């Protein structure tokens, strides 16, 4: 028999046999339920239980605790039903990897499978990918797929991190989506959650209480103890599973500020180090409200040796204040000088780099170490009513900010529907069933207590079917004259990006951005790239447009518009000097 590939879970080991492994240090015995029979598992060292048995692909199985309770495999690849029932034996996949694309070519489209199409499935999503590639997108980023309690939700409350949520489809359907994306030249990035487990269907505390850190909680539940070797392997192998068994091109790791690990190396460093040993391109992005940069440090010649890029909330927040005038909540930090903070974020990465106690210097990183966005699932869906920017800003300002996003040397990300001016809101939704639903309702109302202009009755019920259905993309808007015109403008911008800017991003240096002016509605930023110099000149309001140099490659707005932006490019031997 061959050796196991993974520490946790069930996998075939040859000759019709399957090997099963569960870390259950809180139990003195565990049984394997397979084929209607319970058989004792062998207790090993450090809390591990193992068993080997003849079995076949697709058979249901579960682990039985000392009190007789049967629980699913926490590393299940597929469930027979919901998160409370049996798991299904699923053999590892061996995809042919397509080769991916260089990171500097990334133009990311974030999507939620359940609301991206009317069917809300992986197969239906795959059918839409050609349209995205034709617009100039080169990557899709899928919100979390790990199976969670209930039949609808954002995916950040997953409890079975290895199992694609079966409402969306099967592991085979996910493999089909990846193949379809690659066929259109699209990379696939997957959002993963390694900072907590959801409230419905997490049985780990019953048999592995040491999985959790009793001294720490996150905003969403109990903290995780990453100092435990089996816990580290659970998450590192999960990352490797998505990358190697489905050929996924990269991961976006959610809220890493809640991955607190005193180990040396810390989990995120070890994870990146092990992934880099795969010997193929893998793009790792992080979300971290601390504005830290140590995970993204470049190696010799600017090589990515750890994590690839960081989601840049500073860019979003400054742009949002400019676009809407809103200053409540976390937008308050950007209220006094949104233009200056936007300019600094464009030039140096982060707007806040430690001066106020948050962040670290970021100007040394290349521009491609930052993922910028005007909208995403969080910044839209965490609003009380889920409004998109198209409902909050004037069209001219939004068009200028879109041009700035698309033609910046940072990596741009767009939220689904943004490509054609989707007007439907994207609200928070969930459906667990039972008492949890009322807890979600109450929590959602409490979240907006104290915000101006909101009463509980104004906040969509997150559990209602209509809230979920209302967040689906609107094909009528997409196919309308206004939608087609919106898409045509974005296709033009992304075409310019790929043709004129992307060729100068590989090898673009750190300390290459300069904020020249950000005052009185005038914004001027220059970037030194690889063999080129890119210049942005913009205005918001009636100010004059700052003077720029180089060949004008795009003008958004006009002298009579509420906002205007011009991009210039100078190339040649001295273009990047």
Active site residues: 254, 287
H-state helical runs in 349-480: 377-381, 395-407, 435-447, 465-470, 475-479
* Cα–Cα nearest to 87, from 161, 196, 198, 179: 161
Residues ≥6 apart with Cβ < 8 Å to 325: none
Copy the structure tokens of residue 360. Answer: 């670290």
> N- to C-terminal Cα distance for the chain?
60
DSSP state of 96: P
State the Cα–Cα distance between residues 88 and 171, nearest whole angstrom. Answer: 11
Evaluated on CA atoms 11, 285, 260, 384, the torsion sign reads: negative
Helix (H) or strand (E) holding 56: none
Copy the structure tokens of residue 8. Answer: 């946790």
* Residues 349/382, Cβ–Cβ less than 8 Å: no
Beta carbons within 10 angstroms of residue 254's beta carbon: 22
- Does 265 sit behind a cis peptide bond, omega within 30 degrees of 0 on the bond before it? yes
State the residue for tokens 């459906």. Answer: 431
Q: Please provide the DSSP assignment of 194-260 as one string.
A: -S---SSS--HHHH-GGGEEEEEEETTEEEE-TTSHHHHHHHHHHHHHHHHHS---EEEE--GGG--
Helix (H) or strand (E) holding 71: strand 70-71
* Cα–Cα nearest to 556, from 501, 497, 493: 493
Evaluated on CA atoms 269, 272, 276, 281, the torsion sign reads: negative
State the residue for tokens 């600094």. Answer: 344
Beta carbons within 10 angstroms of residue 26's beta carbon: 16
Beta carbons within 10 angstroms of residue 307's beta carbon: 25
């Amino acid at each position: 028999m061959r050796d196991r590939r993974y520490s946790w879970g069930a996998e075939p080991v040859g000759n019709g046999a399957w090997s099963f492994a569960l870390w259950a240090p809180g139990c003195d015995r565990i049984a394997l339920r397979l084929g209607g029979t319970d058989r004792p598992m062998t207790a090993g060292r450090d809390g591990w239980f193992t068993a080997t048995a003849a079995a076949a692909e697709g058979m249901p199985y579960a682990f039985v605790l000392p009190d007789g309770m049967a629980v699913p495999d926490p590393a299940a690849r597929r469930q027979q039903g919901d998160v409370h029932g049996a798991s299904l034996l699923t053999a590892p996949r061996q995809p042919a990897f397509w080769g991916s694309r260089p990171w500097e070519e990334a133009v990311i489209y974030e999507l939620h499978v359940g609301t991206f199409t009317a069917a809300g499935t992986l197969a239906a999503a795959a059918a839409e990918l050609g349209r995205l590639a034709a617009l100039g997108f080169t990557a899709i980023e899928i919100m979390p797929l790990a199976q969670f309690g209930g039949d609808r939700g954002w995916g950040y409350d997953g409890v079975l991190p290895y199992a694609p949520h079966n409402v969306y489809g099967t592991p085979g359907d996910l493999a089909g989506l990846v193949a379809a994306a690659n066929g259109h030249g699209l990379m696939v990035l997957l959002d993963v959650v390694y900072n907590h487990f959801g409230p419905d269907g997490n049985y780990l505390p019953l048999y592995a209480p040491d999985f959790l850190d009793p001294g720490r909680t996150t905003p969403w539940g109990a903290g995780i103890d990453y100092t435990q070797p089996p816990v580290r392997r659970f998450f590192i192998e999960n990352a490797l599973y998505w990358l190697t068994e489905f050929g996924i091109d990269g991961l976006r790791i959610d809220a890493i500020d809640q991955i607190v690990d005193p180990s040396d190396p810390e989990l995120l460093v070890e994870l990146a180090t092990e992934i880099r040993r795969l010997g193929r391109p893998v793009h790792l992005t992080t979300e971290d409200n601390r504005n830290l940069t140590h995970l993204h440090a470049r190696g010799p010649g600017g090589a990515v040796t750890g994590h690839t890029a960081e989601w840049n909330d500073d860019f979003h927040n400054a742009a949002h204040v400019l676009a809407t005038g809103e200053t409540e909540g976390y937008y308050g930090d950007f209220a006094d000088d949104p233009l200056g903070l936007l300019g600094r974020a464009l030039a140096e990465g982060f707007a806040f780099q430690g001066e106020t106690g948050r962040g670290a210097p970021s100007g040394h990183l290349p521009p491609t170490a930052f993922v910028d966005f005007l909208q995403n699932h969080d910044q839209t869906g965490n609003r009380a009513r889920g409004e998109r920017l198209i409902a909050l800003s004037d069209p001219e300002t939004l068009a200028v900010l879109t041009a700035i996003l698309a033609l910046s040397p940072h990596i741009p990300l767009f939220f689904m529907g943004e490509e054609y001016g989707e007007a439907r809101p994207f609200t928070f939704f969930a459906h667990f069933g039972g008492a949890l639903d009322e807890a979600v309702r109450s929590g959602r109302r409490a979240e907006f207590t104290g915000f101006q202009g909101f009463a509980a009755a104004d906040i969509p019920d997150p559990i209602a079917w209509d809230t979920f259905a209302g967040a689906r993309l609107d094909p009528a808007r997409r196919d309308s004259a206004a939608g087609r015109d919106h898409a045509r403008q974005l296709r033009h911008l992304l075409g310019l990006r790929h043709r004129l800017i992307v060729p100068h991003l590989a090898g673009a240096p750190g300390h290459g951005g300069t904020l020249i002016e950000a005052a009185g509605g005038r914004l001027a930023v220059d970037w030194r790239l690889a063999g080129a110099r890119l210049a942005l000149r913009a205005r918001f309001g009636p100010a004059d447009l700052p003077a720029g140099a180089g060949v004008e490659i795009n003008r958004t707005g006009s002298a009579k518009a509420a906002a205007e932006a011009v991009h210039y490019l100078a190339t040649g031997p001295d273009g990047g000097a």
